[in-house]
Structure 1
Amino acid sequence: MFEQMCAELSRAAIDRDEQAFGGLLQEVHRAAAAVPAAELTAGVRLLAQGIAQASLDQAAWLAVMSGAIVENGADADAPGTAVMGRLHEVTTGALTFADAWEKAAGGEPPDPAENEPSREAWEVVRPGLGDGAGPAMEAWWSLPRFALAASTVLSVSPMVRASVPDRESLAATVDRAERHCGQLGYVRDLLRVLDGERLLVLDRASGRGWTVVIGGIGDNFQLHTLLAGALIGPDRLPGNAPDPRWVASSLDQDVPPDTPAVTGRWNLVDVDGEWIWNEGVPADIPEVGGTRVVVLDPPSYARSWNPGRRFPQMPASIFVETAHDPASLRGWWQRVRPATTRPTG
């Protein structure tokens, strides 16, 4: 039943049957609350067809609906691929609208999340865009819904993150459009998440090193926490092991009530001795010969931060792949520079 409803909704969107579309959208929304995950997945696979083929306005509603169904347990891969496949079209069209508005009227265009399309907006951009005014307006008012859906599917699906088409071009366009839609800031940062990435982690005090494999880590606060969980313990590094709640909530668990703040264990620096800021992301860590290198130094001052993940829907992973013999690391240590001095305030 649910699958048939989704098929009819997708077809109404593709056929631009607006009268049927509105009613079916509400029916699918109500029905999704009581459907098992397997049926939800079958349904969103059909909605993905509409996302890929319908006009941007109705595709955007299908994208938001699919994101909500994914949050209820459906697999994200099919709708996620469709959403990301059209995001470049949406952001490019929205920027076209914004540029035309600013040239014609000055100032910021109407907020697409707070305002409806209007004849007045059409009259502002039509002289500059001609026949392109309609598609540009459709992209502009679709932007918040596509941004919300993209945040969801990128968070929950490593496959979607791995298969984004024209990633660099899309990331640049998303970055430009972010000032018009704050949700795109999350999309931009999710596009930079590393999955299956090998880091070489070197401990300056002991001369030891490990290759660790990471995935789904949203910022370096999370990376710092997970490195402590992976590397402090018997046969690895001395020190107080992190609270298990910190590690669990940095992987895939909710933060339990009354969990204390995470306390930092090191200064993280790169091969050149430059600090790896906790506020950054793993993709900021420079590559040396194709390898990102993290050097662990004693902390220069006490740090603490809130436990948990920046993107709560995105599970993270970390495992130690190789423990390196110190003799095998001599070449790396010859390249590592002393840490730079940074102000603490």
Structure 2
Amino acid sequence: MSGAVSGFLTAVDDFERAIRSGVSADMEVADQRMRTAYQGATPAELTQAGKPLVAILNEVPPLARGQLAVLIGACVESGADPVACAPRVLANLAKNLAAAATFAKEWAEIMEEDLPDPEEDVEVPFTALFEVFDPFDVIAWWTQPDWERSALAMLQRPEVRRRLGPIRALLQERHDAFAEVSGRWNKCLDYVLRVLDDEPLIVLHRETGTGYRMRMSGMGDNFQLHTLLAHELIGSGFVAGEAPSAEAVAACRDADGMVPTFGSFNLVSPEGNWIWNEGTPSDIPVIDGARLLVLDPEPYRRHWPAGRFFPYMPGDLVFERALSAEEAAAWFSHVKPADATGATENPA
């Protein structure tokens, strides 16, 4: 590894050599030394360590691989290149999800007890399960939380999401299959896989008959979107109402923390179904190449802490322009009248 060498970086070099030597005892000693040194590592050191660690990720024994992935995720959170680190981590996550789902399915068929919690110690001797289940499937089950944590560090970066390609759909499919057979739905992983970037959004305000073209990126949930919509439309004087505070808006974009705020609209689909604040912008249907969202009056007052569902993921809603009356009318032609929607209630 080039550049200045610290205690942590030296430990990373030693770990890399131990892995490539193939001697288990050396690997264990070097791994422990690296994890001890990590406690005192600086962000600059973690930034340098990301690439060499991900380069040896697939050479590490499967039982220790997930923990190394968590360390790589920590390096990314401190400044390591997420584009360089993500492909190998996400490929392993896809493989691990499939194997963990197989373990969960076979456990339900063979065992007469609930699935063990992968974040707790197993009561039966761990290796005893290798006699009943495929060893990799067993390891995948217990390391699944590690792969999810590491992947979240990568997927919160727009530069990674822009390069996902087909693996996004594969990860979503495998996450859904894993959740179905195991009962372990990872909300964070599910939501981050649904994040939209540079996504066209048409917003129709039913009371005034007006429409607006916007573009959204990095929205973790619809609470975040709702707050920024109110800022763009009410704060700029396009529609009447009370705009959220500047602090709430900043928290939804890139400022730290959460700020109390309130609802301004009822978000609904063109069919009249409520778009839940707890959901994601991917719930908004696509019509003629754009997400089409209708804003109705609030049925009752709502409050929530404004901010970002994903702390490392900046969000943005860009106001492009108000639609002409003719354009708005054309978009409204896709929308059912308010009294004919049969809307379903949103508990938020």
TM-score (norm 1): 0.86
Structure 1 residues 97 and 207: CA distance shift in structure 2, 3 A? same
Structure 1 residues 140 and 344: CA distance shift in structure 2, 3 A? closer
Deviations 1:34-55 (A, max 9, x none): 5554543331011111224434
Q: 1:184 — aligned with what?
A: 186
C-alpha distance in 2, partners of 1:286/1:344?
17
Could you tell me which of 214, 217, 235 is aligned with 1:215? 217
Q: How does 1:257-276 map to 2 (within 5 A)?
A: 259=259, 261-276=260-275
Q: 1:59 — aligned with what?
A: 65
Aligned partners of 2:11 and 2:37 also within 8 Å: no
C-alpha distance in 1, partners of 2:195/2:129?
37
Per the alignment, in what secondary structure is the counterpart of residue 198 of structure 1? strand
Q: 1:138 — aligned with what?
A: 139
C-alpha distance in 1, partners of 2:13/2:324?
58
Q: How does 1:223-262 map to 2 (within 5 A)?
A: 223-234=225-236, 236-255=238-257, 259=259, 261-262=260-261
Deviations 1:77-132 (A, max 9, x none): 2222221111111111112222233322233343322125623212232xxxxxxx
Q: 2:161 — aligned with what?
A: 161
State the Cα distance separating 1:322 from its structure 2 match.
2.8
Deviations 1:52-73 (A, max 9, x none): 4434323212101112222333
Q: Which moved more, 1:175-184 or 1:195-204?
A: 175-184
TM-score (norm 2): 0.85
State the Cα distance separating 1:264 from its structure 2 match.
0.6
Q: 2:332 — aligned with what?
A: 333
Cα root mean square deviation, aligned? 2.6
Per the alignment, in what secondary structure is the counterpart of residue 56 of structure 2? helix
Q: Which moved more, 1:116-125 or 1:133-142?
A: 116-125
Structure 1 residues 234 and 99: CA distance shift in structure 2, 3 A? closer
Aligned partners of 1:212 and 1:321 also within 8 Å: yes
C-alpha distance in 1, partners of 2:21/2:225?
47
Counterpart AA for 2:269? D
Aligned partners of 2:105 and 2:182 also within 8 Å: no
Could you tell me which of 94, 102, 124 is aligned with 1:96? 102
Aligned partners of 1:10 and 1:49 also within 8 Å: no
Structure 1 residues 10 and 106: CA distance shift in structure 2, 3 A? farther
Q: 2:284 — aligned with what?
A: 285
Structure 1 residues 48 and 208: CA distance shift in structure 2, 3 A? same
C-alpha distance in 1, partners of 2:346/2:226?
18
Q: Which moved more, 1:315-324 or 1:187-196?
A: 315-324
Q: Give aligned pairs, total.
A: 334
Identity, in percent, stands at 36
C-alpha distance in 2, partners of 1:238/1:41?
47
Deviations 1:199-227 (A, max 9, x none): 11112223322221111111111110111
C-alpha distance in 1, partners of 2:346/2:178?
34
Could you tell me which of 103, 108, 116 is aligned with 1:110? 116
Q: How does 1:20-99 map to 2 (within 5 A)?
A: 20-32=26-38, 37-99=43-105
State the Cα distance separating 1:295 from its structure 2 match.
1.3
State the Cα distance separating 1:14 from its structure 2 match.
5.5
Counterpart AA for 1:210? Y
Counterpart AA for 2:315? A
Per the alignment, in what secondary structure is the counterpart of residue 256 of structure 2? coil
State the Cα distance separating 1:235 from its structure 2 match.
5.1
Question: Is 1:296 the equivalent of 2:298?
Answer: no
Q: 1:130 — aligned with what?
A: none
Counterpart AA for 2:162? A
Per the alignment, in what secondary structure is the counterpart of residue 142 of structure 1? helix
State the Cα distance separating 1:32 from its structure 2 match.
4.5
State the Cα distance separating 1:274 from its structure 2 match.
1.9
C-alpha distance in 1, partners of 2:141/2:345?
43
Structure 1 residues 103 and 181: CA distance shift in structure 2, 3 A? closer
Structure 1 residues 111 and 94: CA distance shift in structure 2, 3 A? same
